[in-house]
């Protein structure tokens, strides 16, 4: 599953900005609305809890992959605003329901002691999948004069094929604990929820506007954008296992602190591209560095795994996934209007979000566990 999802999603992401600008004439306003609508299924990911009353979590993940592959594969056949919106929405349902189920299954199936390294390797497999997709795209796009339709259809079909094979050959893995199939919001997980909502806001700005900037400001073509994503995933594939080991050595607290300090600097530098008219080389370096620091974010997952009651994981991950997408629904549409007036202001906002995340990271204990979810809990317990 880690290999299948990026086949469709990474290709969709790599081609999106060129496709909507060249084929549909999108501006920052339309791209903002597209991404806001795309994130609505993420906001509704809590619905996974109710779907699981009728469908096993593993089956839901695979069916969602199939929907993602079909919808993304048909994208280029509807190059109008309405068609792009509808197919993006359907693909997004597949993507977000897959991610909600997938993240929950990872935390249920993987032992806490080896979770950081294992999640690092799973992330590396996903990066390798993207690497294969992007590498093929770079080599073949100009050489064979490929069309958007052919590439979207091929990548979507590969994702569907892998998901179907998983259904046939790996129909069922048992989970060690029965999960609670109802919405659960626990006060003791407040820091996890806060980190999730800030992560969603920052990531949305990067996903929507950083790549859009490379096309709009620096006139990147499809193969150039793809090379950029290719470099990103080479870095992530090599770096993610190292992050897993670092989490074991230094703990989630320090990994998150390093991530948020780095992101603050990077987003301010993005704004500097507009203030100081820095060259495309600076943009490329920042884009890759941005992705590098984002690859540290699975420390939030391992932090939650350490503080969560085992039977809470499925429901709590779905709730957190929804919380993560609250800013993702309204931010792109609102910021799209700001973009056409002052693009740099968007990146300054992202830097402020990273600073707020940094403050939250200082509340993560060195050794999180049930009863020691935050440093405030530990201090309260010590006073008692």
Domain boundary assignment for the chain: 4-170+181-383
pLDDT score, position 139: 86
Closest CA to 132 of 229, 15, 241: 229
pLDDT score, position 99: 87
Quote the tokens at residue 291: 């992705």
Enter the CATH code of domain 4-170+181-383: 1.20.1250.20
Its pTM stands at 0.74
- CA–CA dist 358, 355 (Å, integer): 5
Cβ atoms within 10 Å, residue 311 = 14
pLDDT score, position 316: 79
pLDDT score, position 361: 97
pLDDT score, position 294: 84
pLDDT in tens, the chain (384 residues): 888 998 998 888 878 888 888 888 887 788 888 888 888 887 777 777 777 778 888 899 999 999 999 999 999 898 888 999 999 999 999 998 898 888 888 777 777 778 778 888 888 788 788 788 878 887 888 888 889 999 999 999 999 999 999 999 876 766 655 555 566 788 999 999 999 999 988 888 887 788 888 888 888 887 787 788 778 878 877 888 888 889 989 999 999 999 999 999 999 999 999 999 999 999 999 999 998 898 888 899 899 989 988 777 777 777 887 888 788 778 877 888 888 889 999 999 999 999 999 999 999 999 999 988 999 988 877 776
pLDDT score, position 375: 93
Are the C-beta atoms of residues 75 and 91 closer than 8 Å to each other?
A: yes
pLDDT score, position 15: 87
pLDDT score, position 162: 95
pLDDT score, position 297: 86
pLDDT score, position 265: 97
Q: What is the 3 state secondary structure string of 273-286?
A: HHHCCCCHHHHHHH
Quote the tokens at residue 364: 């993560």
Are the C-beta atoms of residues 322 and 45 closer than 8 Å to each other?
A: yes
Look at residue 372 and give its three-state secondary structure. Answer: strand
| N-term to C-term CA, the chain | 47
- Report DSSP state, residue 179: P
């Amino acid at each position: 599953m880690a290999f299948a999802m990026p086949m469709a999603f990474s290709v969709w992401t790599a081609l999106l900005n060129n496709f909507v600008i060249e084929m549909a004439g999108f501006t920052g306003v339309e791209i903002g609305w597209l991404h806001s609508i795309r994130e609505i299924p993420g906001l509704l990911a809590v619905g996974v809890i109710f779907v699981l009353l009728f469908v096993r979590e593993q089956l839901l993940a695979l069916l969602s992959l199939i929907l993602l592959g079909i919808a993304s594969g048909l994208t280029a056949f509807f190059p109008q605003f309405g068609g792009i919106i509808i197919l993006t929405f359907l693909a997004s349902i597949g993507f977000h329901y897959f991610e909600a189920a997938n993240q929950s299954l990872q935390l249920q199936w993987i032992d806490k002691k080896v979770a950081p390294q294992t999640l690092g390797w799973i992330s590396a497999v996903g990066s390798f999948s993207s690497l294969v997709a992007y590498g093929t795209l770079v080599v073949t796009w100009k050489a064979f004069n490929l069309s958007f339709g052919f590439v979207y259809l091929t990548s979507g079909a590969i994702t569907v094929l892998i998901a179907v094979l998983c259904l046939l050959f790996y129909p069922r893995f048992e989970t060690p604990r029965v999960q609670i199939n109802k919405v659960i919001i626990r006060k003791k997980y407040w820091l996890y929820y806060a980190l999730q909502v800030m992560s969603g806001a920052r990531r949305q700005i990067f996903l929507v506007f950083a790549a859009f900037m490379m096309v709009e400001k620096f006139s990147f073509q499809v193969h150039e954008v793809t090379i950029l994503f290719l470099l990103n995933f080479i870095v992530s594939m090599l770096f993610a296992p190292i992050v897993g080991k670092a989490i074991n050595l230094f703990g989630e607290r320090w990994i998150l602190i390093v991530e948020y300090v780095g992101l603050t600097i990077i987003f301010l530098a993005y704004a500097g591209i507009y203030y100081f008219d820095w060259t495309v080389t600076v943009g490329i370096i920042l884009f890759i560095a941005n992705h590098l620091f984002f690859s540290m974010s699975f420390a939030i997952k391992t932090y939650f795994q350490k503080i969560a009651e085992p039977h809470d994981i499925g429901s709590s991950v779905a709730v957190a996934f929804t919380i993560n997408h609250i800013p993702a629904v309204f931010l792109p549409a609102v910021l799209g209007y700001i973009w056409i007036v002052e693009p740099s202001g968007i990146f300054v906002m992202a830097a402020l979000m990273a600073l707020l995340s940094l403050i939250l990271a200082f509340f993560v204990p060195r050794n999180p566990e049930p009863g020691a979810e935050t440093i405030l809990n530990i201090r309260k317990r010590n006073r008692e």
